[in-house]
Amino acid sequence: MQNTQARSNIYALLSRILMQELDLELYNTIRNDKNILEFFPNFDKWDLLTEMDDNTILTEHLNPDFVNLTLLHLIPYETFYTREDQKIETGGANPVTDIYSEYDFVVDFEAARVVSADHIGVEYEFMHHLCELELEAMKANDQAAVNDIRFTQKTFLNKHLVAWAPQFLINMKYESRTPLYYDAAEMALEFILTDNEYVSKGSVEL
């Protein structure tokens, strides 16, 4: 259960970082949590953190970097990477919507501020919700449900996230101009590869 909790938290953290620019609250959460900071070694040592106030770091460095990485220069949508014509499928034919629908999940685009349900942040958040469901099933000692949810996780990772996100995250890592997003890209990449192995084998210790 501890593994699942860890996975849920990490998926949540990464989904939030990849979906929208940071706000002060999340920024402070990251800065004040030594366990999180261990995943962000370069950010932790960043000179600017001691030289500038938080607001300036956010508005003049981190947020512009986020905009560059996810709006201006890179395209964080699955269909961009998987369709031959590199168009984003914004309609109901998007391949992830079926699997979301199985759980009666609908993406609130207003809240997400994305154009399509296959945004990387949304897909990470979907994994977070699956982990939360798994936790609930575990608490209810419903092993069959746990197995079902694990199967969905494995399917989703293999058919979707792992199939394209590494390409985006490698690009993101090399395009990033701040250590936070550099570290986030590296962490997100390593994590889904590890997690894929974990859910596939069902025995890897985190």
Partner 1 sequence: MYLETRRTFLKGAAFTVAGAAMAKGVFTTDAIAESISESKFTDTPDSLSFYPPMEEWADYKELSGEDWKRGGISRHGVRSEDNPDGILVHDYVVVPTACSNCEASCGLTAFIDKKTFTVKKYMGNPLHPASRGRNCAKGYATQSQMYDPDRLAFPIKRAPGSKRGEGKWIRTTWDEAMTTIGKKMGDTLRKGDELSKKSVMFHVGRPNENGFTGKVWHTLGSDCFNSHTNICSSGGRTPTIQWSNDDRTSPDWANAKLLFLNSSHAADAGHYFQQSASFIADARQKGAKLVVMDPRMSNSAGMADLWIAAWPGTEPAVYLYLVNRILNEDKVDKKFVKKWLNWEVFMDNKKYMEYIHGKNYIDNMPKDNSFESFLEVLQDLYKPYTLEYTVKETHVPAYKLEQLYDMFIWAGDAISSYFWRATAAGNRGGWMSGRTGYLPIALRGAIGTEGGTFFHHWHVISVAGKGGSSTVGQGKRGSNIPKVDVWNELSWPPEWPLSTYEMSFLLPHLLTDTDWQEKWIKRGLNVPQKLAVWIPRMYNPVWINPDGFRWLEVLKDESKMELTFNLSPTWSETNWHVDYVLPVGLAGERHDQHSEATMPARWTSFRQPVMRVALEKAGWKPKNPNRATLEAHIKAGLGEVWEENEFWFDMCVNYIDPKGDIFLDDAKTKTIHSMWESKRHPGKPVTIEEWYDAAFGDNLPNLKSTATSDARYKNAEFPVYEYMRDHGAWMEENNIYSAQEREIKETADHFISHGHKYDKKHVHIDKRTGVMTAESHGKKKSMGIEIDGKKYEGFATLDKKLDFFSEWFADDWKWPEYAIPFYPRTDEEKKEMVHIVSHVNHSYMTEENSYALNTVFRLPYNIHTRSANSKHLMEISQNHDPIWISTGDAKRQGFERGDAIRVKIVDSVSGLDSGYFVAMAVPTEGVLPGTLACSHHGGRWKLKNSVTIPNGVSDGKVSGAPMERNMMDPEFMKQAPNNVGKDGGQITIADYDGTSGMNSYGVPVAEMVTDGKVGTLKYTQGIQPFHADRFKDYNKDSDNIWWDGLSGSWQNAVAPVHPDPISGMHCWHQKVILEAAQPGDKIGDIYVDYENNFNTYKAWRDELTRPLNADDKLRRPQHIKRPWVPLSDKAYAVEIKDV
Given a contact cutoff of 8 angstroms between Cβ atoms, the answer to whether 162 and 192 are in contact is: yes
- CB nearer to partner 1: pick between 29 and 171: 29
Rounded CA gap, 10 and 42, in Å?
18
Q: How far is the CB of 141 from partner 1 (least distance, A)?
A: 20
Please give the backbone phi and psi of residue 146, each rounded to the nearest 5 degrees, phi first: -55, -45
Closest CA to 62 of 178, 204, 192, 191: 178
Q: How far is the CB of 151 from partner 1 (least distance, A)?
A: 20
- Report which secondary-structure segment, H or E, holds 126: helix 120-139
Q: How far is the CB of 193 from partner 1 (least distance, A)?
A: 5
Cα–chain-centroid distance for residue 68?
17
Q: Which residues of this chain interact with partner 1, rule CB under 8 A?
A: 2-3, 5-13, 15-16, 19-20, 26, 29, 32-33, 35-36, 38-39, 89-93, 100-101, 103-112, 114, 121-122, 125-126, 128-129, 131-132, 189-191, 193-195, 197, 205-206
Q: How far is the CB of 147 from partner 1 (least distance, A)?
A: 22
